């Protein structure tokens, strides 16, 4: 069909040229030009022009239909005129390049979204009108929203008045911060992005707030714990210096001064130890070792103290590999056994068991001591906390032993539990992951 149209156009064009040439020949030869000849020539040329127009329109429609029917998604099925092959090839090249760029952009966006979704902080991106562009999983969990909230206004996320006030401020170009208390304490930073809206970063500040609280309480607690033994020491020393103590009682008061001084030295040592723990980075001096061997060494070193207190000390152990800080694990075990001995009764027992199961070390210390009242059990791991007897009097030393134990367990990514009843003794369970 295309060839027929092309041949027809060529023939009609040729006839038009012949008519034009004939008319010019007559004109220049001197032959008289009659009206009939002119009209005939004009009609012939007009007919030829109309024929050419019709044929050109059909050819144009044919070419247009062919182009419109091109399916670039199936390049192998494209059938067009040979003259359009170069055009199709260029189009396919541009299409492939655009598809490649879109795929790269899609991969880049997916990677960015993956980073946002796996952030430990909450991340929210807002457009200039306050609609949510991105809200990662952590942000949704903080505000307890499980629905797809992207594209919705920030009011859908929370109705917290102060939070929304800060959002309005950041959308006007102000960089602000706030602390919000829900189940946890969160530090929120509102960062303006000129022309693009704003970014909201939410980080868990519970640990920092707790650390601030502990620092505020630390000095009064230390002062209180050291004041009592210093008062005793100063008082006894003054009585001795003034000769107010009889010679036969001198040894008794000297022993009291020594015990108070030793207790104070132990408290200071534990305070320094806890301070060092606070400053240590997790993983510092970690090595692979056998907890059972450390436990056997600790039991052997504390056996004389157990015998002096008339307490039987035993160990049931098995190979127990763990990746951790050997010095800290030893201190943890020593504190657990020392507590069991110190708070026991004559002819009592302290049993330690060490085992390995499911890639974790399990340590338990059981004593037959005085036990801990249920209402006080949740506080025994606090620094400087000492349990009270039935008369409300404090029992024990400075109250730092179990605080040290808990800190060491958490430092190793483990867990600690306690079971106790007054008069029935106490059992402490520690689970430590094997680590790398």
pLDDT in tens, 39-85: 666 666 667 666 666 666 666 666 666 656 666 565 555 555 555 56
Looking at the structure, tell me whether residues 296 and 361 fall in a common domain: yes
Give the structural domain span for 30: 2-68
Looking at the structure, tell me whether residues 20 and 160 fall in a common domain: no
Looking at the structure, tell me whether residues 326 and 345 fall in a common domain: yes
Cα 324 to chain centroid, rounded: 24
Residue found by looking up tokens 């990514």 in the block: 413
On whether the pTM is more than 0.75, the answer is no
Is residue 170 within 8 Å of 189, Cβ to Cβ? Answer: no
Given 178, 204, 230, the domain boundary residue is 204
Looking at the structure, tell me whether residues 362 and 253 fall in a common domain: no
The answer as to whether 77 is a domain residue is no
Q: What angle do CA 280, 286, 292 make, to 5 degrees?
A: 120
The answer as to whether 373 is a domain residue is yes
Looking at the structure, tell me whether residues 215 and 251 fall in a common domain: yes
Q: How far apart are CA 106 and CA 114, in angstroms?
A: 12
Kindly report the average pLDDT of the chain as a whole number. 76
Given 204, 219, 249, the domain boundary residue is 204
The answer as to whether 74 is a domain residue is no
The answer as to whether 75 is a domain residue is no
What is the per-residue pLDDT across 179-205, written as a single tens digit (0 to 9) for each?
888 778 888 999 988 777 888 998 887
Looking at the structure, tell me whether residues 299 and 389 fall in a common domain: yes
The answer as to whether 418 is a domain residue is yes
- The domain that holds 195 is classified in CATH as 3.30.450.20
Q: How high is the pLDDT of residue 1?
A: 47
Looking at the structure, tell me whether residues 422 and 337 fall in a common domain: yes
Looking at the structure, tell me whether residues 355 and 430 fall in a common domain: yes
What is the per-residue pLDDT across 370-413, written as a single tens digit (0 to 9) for each?
888 887 777 777 766 666 554 444 455 556 778 888 888 888 88
Looking at the structure, tell me whether residues 287 and 434 fall in a common domain: yes
The answer as to whether 385 is a domain residue is yes
The answer as to whether 393 is a domain residue is yes
- The domain that holds 218 is classified in CATH as 1.10.287.130
Q: How far apart are CA 41 and CA 44, in angstroms?
A: 5
What is the per-residue pLDDT across 307-351, written as a single tens digit (0 to 9) for each?
988 999 999 888 888 888 888 898 899 889 988 888 888 899 999
Looking at the structure, tell me whether residues 131 and 198 fall in a common domain: yes
Looking at the structure, tell me whether residues 339 and 408 fall in a common domain: yes
| Residue 132: count of CB within 10 angstroms of its CB | 21
How many structural domains compose the chain? 5
The bridge status of strand 348-357 relative to strand 311-317 is parallel
Looking at the structure, tell me whether residues 431 and 375 fall in a common domain: yes
Given 241, 262, 279, the domain boundary residue is 279
The answer as to whether 76 is a domain residue is no
């Amino acid at each position: 069909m295309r060839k027929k149209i092309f041949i027809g156009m060529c023939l009609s064009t040729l006839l038009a040229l012949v008519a034009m040439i004939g008319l010019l020949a007559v004109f220049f030869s001197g032959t008289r030009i009659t009206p009939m000849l002119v009209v005939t020539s004009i009609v012939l040329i007009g007919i030829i022009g109309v024929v050419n127009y019709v044929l050109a329109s059909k050819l144009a429609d044919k070419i247009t239909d062919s182009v419109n029917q091109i399916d670039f998604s199936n390049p192998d099925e494209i059938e067009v005129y040979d003259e359009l092959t170069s055009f199709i090839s260029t189009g396919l090249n541009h299409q492939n390049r655009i598809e490649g760029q879109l795929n790269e952009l899609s991969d880049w966006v997916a990677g960015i979204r993956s980073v946002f979704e796996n952030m430990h902080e909450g991340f929210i991106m807002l457009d200039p009108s306050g609609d949510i562009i991105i809200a990662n999983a952590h942000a949704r969990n903080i505000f307890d929203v499980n629905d797809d909230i992207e594209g919705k206004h920030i009011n859908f996320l929370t109705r917290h008045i102060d939070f929304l006030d800060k959002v309005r401020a950041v959308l006007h170009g102000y960089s602000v911060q706030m602390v919000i208390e829900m189940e946890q304490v969160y530090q929120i930073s509102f960062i303006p992005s000129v022309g693009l809206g704003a970014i909201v970063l939410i980080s868990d500040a519970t640990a920092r707030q707790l650390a601030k609280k502990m620092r505020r309480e630390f000095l009064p607690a230390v002062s209180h714990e050291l004041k009592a033994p210093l008062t005793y020491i100063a008082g006894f020393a003054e009585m001795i210096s003034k000769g107010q103590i009889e010679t036969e009682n001198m040894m008794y008061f000297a022993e009291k001064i020594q015990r108070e001084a030793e207790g104070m030295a132990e408290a200071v040592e534990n305070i320094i130890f806890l301070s060092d723990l606070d400053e240590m980075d997790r993983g510092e001096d970690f090595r692979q070792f056998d907890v059972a061997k450390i436990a056997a060494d600790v039991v052997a070193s504390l056996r004389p103290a157990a015998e002096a207190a008339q307490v039987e000390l035993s160990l049931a152990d098995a190979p127990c590999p763990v990746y951790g800080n050997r010095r800290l694990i030893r201190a943890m075990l020593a504190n657990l056994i020392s507590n069991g001995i110190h708070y026991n009764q004559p002819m009592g027992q302290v049993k330690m068991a060490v085992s390995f199961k499911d890639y974790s070390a399990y340590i338990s210390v059981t004593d037959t001591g005085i036990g801990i009242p249920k209402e006080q059990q949740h506080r025994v791991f606090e620094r400087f906390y000492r349990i009270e007897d039935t008369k409300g009097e404090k029992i024990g030393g400075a109250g730092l032993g179990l605080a040290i134990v808990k800190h060491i367990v958490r430092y190793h990514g483990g867990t600690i539990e306690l079971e106790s009843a007054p008069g029935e003794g106490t059992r402490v369970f520690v689970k430590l992951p094997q680590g790398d």
